[in-house]
Chain A
């Protein structure tokens, strides 16, 4: 039985550049990112996209940061992606802005939303703002290119021999597992990287993900599960599967994989397991149903997928910040699952609110899915959300989801805007963010 010693990512290669926020360094910054990302394995065209995105941020910072301060750029090789981080101290920013009408640094940061990184899918794959103490980091990520499976998809039905066992796969077994899962399951039930087995092998090697596979006495790979750590402190595992390839032994294989998954994470810091798109083989009695997502795919059309969750130990209870519009939904789930939560209803007290909001957008092209997440609340939340939704819809994404974190009080201020845009709460994944994560889906024909 494998033992995943909690989230322990591989040490990543990182190169750094520190410069004054001065346009004279523009070329240096662009060149640093472009050459750094290319050296770390990003294709030249992607490295240049990343460099242009970093350059845009740098130029904005040149406008707003004092000349004497520093901007720190880091180029990080994540094995299957390259991250470009642009970091600066908010305290530097505050000094410059004090007494100004633009006193809130996030007013300035809203300008990054105008850069439309997330709306321009070619620019970067993800864009995030992360605040740690007094430093703010703009994180730009671009995934590396991998060969994709070109053979036609046709379900595999293996015949496994003898007793089955569960273990951590070697790269060959992992690649085989991914190929077989890709051939056998509709896209909607796969992680978006399953089109590229080599990428999944690197994802696992990076330590960001892990996998377990089920093999028979001859070493035949009869199924598997892919998992990744997420949430604050990486303490929730989101998993994909279980995928099984011997239909005659599907129940046995799925049971072994589920037991193996739980046992391999027991006695680690992992709090819980969650799956948003379980395969039909998932033994649901191991999990608590926490909602249902209505998702579409080429193969299955529009279907409803129950979402599941389970803790690995006792629930210590937590405080959640909930907008009154969300109360009936969260109270219903917490009551049904006996989750001890202190619900604090959030409300606005007439305090000053920044004029601009920021919303992050993740494109999952493989699944034709877009996920929106609040990054900063502002007066224009509804208009901004509509702008993002219009853009996503114009790109023909089949599914749009919105996530808010009940552990971050201001996230719930977005709820009226989300509801106004026709979305309704579909699922709660406890502890998947800083607190519990609520996932909204489009409420087509529903109230």
Chain B
């Protein structure tokens, strides 16, 4: 029998063909085998090294396996109820996704078509740029000013086909942020002509008093969408759950591109429980505070420039290539994030975690640069 002709190349759009799939790190077990280390501190993904709040751990422990056979709530019904109660909003203002990455896709799909563009920074969280590019949407990347997002530069890039601005606040990986005044000035300048996404993945770590809470801006600025996640502070990265919040009208528009049932039952229940454990936030902030003080003190004598802002991470400039540093640190059992991919050559980003992990990192970095 003749095999049917199948030419993938002719079926795939050029903008997808040009896009290179992201290759995630191998599982820890494989990495440990590859680099010959007996234990591995994961300081590469800004996870919470304390893990999930105890209440979420209980939910996970108590999960009845047979419930895995049943579809989850398709629109994360109780999670939205819980979020609405916590933040004094309506459930219809929330849209829950399989991690914040999924809600990024919802927004771009909901507002952009070919010929449109989104605007973000060149050195920020990569997923806005990726989703735009593999959706055939132009991603306009504005260089940072110093280590901060450049509001004027972003506005200058705007044209009639600009649909969405993505503002990572605080910015990953620099930790810089726009204060309330700067954020409002920017939103005033946008003047409702575009959607403005304020990605607050790290807001629960923020200590600065002048940091603007995006949710408080929703009434005045109906074009604002705020992203948050349970992957960072709440330690639920492995369950993949994040959400967006905006005006009811805006959420209704975004829902058109939302794939329901993408958030599993365990994630929904663990996230709902986590919302009510503020003590976990206090403990984690304390850990991060102490870790930053420790790292800054240890790195200063080594003469390593440190970019330390808000968030549970800091960025360090090295006198050697970041990718070489990654490999050598892996041999010491410490995994960091190389920053060449973030367009910061020779920088690494380190998650602030438990003191034993911080000590292992300092020991490793001393060994490779001294």
**Additional A-B contacts beyond A314-B338, A316-B26 (14; CB < 8 A):** A1-B141, A259-B345, A262-B340, A263-B345, A285-B320, A286-B345, A312-B323, A313-B23, A313-B323, A313-B341, A315-B327, A337-B324, A338-B324, A338-B330
**A268 vs B129: C-alpha distance when bound (angstroms):** 12
Known A258-B345, A313-B338, A314-B25; contact A6-B18, beta-carbon cutoff 8 A: yes
Interface flags, A247-280, vs B, CB<8A=1, else 0:
0000000000011001100111100000000000
Interface residue? B342 (CB, 8 A): yes
Interface residue? A339 (CB, 8 A): yes
Q: Are B320 and A338 in contact (CB under 8 A)?
A: no
Q: How far is the CB of B284 from chain A (nearest CB, A)?
A: 27
Q: Are B323 and A310 in contact (CB under 8 A)?
A: yes
Interface residue? B321 (CB, 8 A): yes
Chain A, residue nearest B321 (CB)? A310
Interface residue? A311 (CB, 8 A): yes
Q: Are B346 and A312 in contact (CB under 8 A)?
A: no
Q: Are A266 and B321 in contact (CB under 8 A)?
A: no
Q: How far is the CB of B93 from chain A (nearest CB, A)?
A: 33
B340: chain A residues at CB < 8 Å are 262, 266, 311-313
B143: chain A residues at CB < 8 Å are 1
Q: What are 16 A-B pairs with beta-carbon distances under 8 A? A: A6-B18, A263-B343, A263-B345, A266-B341, A266-B342, A269-B20, A286-B345, A288-B321, A310-B323, A311-B321, A337-B324, A338-B35, A338-B327, A338-B328, A339-B327, A340-B35
Please report whether the interface of chain A is mostly helix, strand, loop or mixed according to DSSP: loop
A residues lining the B interface (CB < 8 Å): 1, 3, 5-6, 8, 258-259, 262-263, 266-269, 285-288, 310-317, 337-340
Count of chain A to chain B residue pairs whose CB atoms are closer than 8 Å in the complex: 74
B324: chain A residues at CB < 8 Å are 288, 310-311, 337-338
Q: How far is the CB of B296 from chain A (nearest CB, A)?
A: 23
B23: chain A residues at CB < 8 Å are 313, 316
Chain B, residue nearest A341 (CB)? B34
Q: How far is the CB of B186 from chain A (nearest CB, A)?
A: 22
Q: Are A287 and B327 in contact (CB under 8 A)?
A: no
Q: Are A312 and B20 in contact (CB under 8 A)?
A: no
A268: chain B residues at CB < 8 Å are 20
Chain B, residue nearest A285 (CB)? B319
**A6 vs B133: C-alpha distance when bound (angstroms):** 13
Interface residue? B326 (CB, 8 A): yes
B341: chain A residues at CB < 8 Å are 266-267, 312-313
Q: How far is the CB of B125 from chain A (nearest CB, A)?
A: 12
Chain A, residue nearest B30 (CB)? A317
A285: chain B residues at CB < 8 Å are 319-321, 346
A337: chain B residues at CB < 8 Å are 324, 327
**A317 vs B23: C-alpha distance when bound (angstroms):** 13
Chain A, residue nearest B340 (CB)? A312
> Within the complex, which residue of A3, A258, A267, A310 is in contact with B126, where a contact is CB–CB below 8 Å?
A267
Q: How far is the CB of A2 from chain B (nearest CB, A)?
A: 11
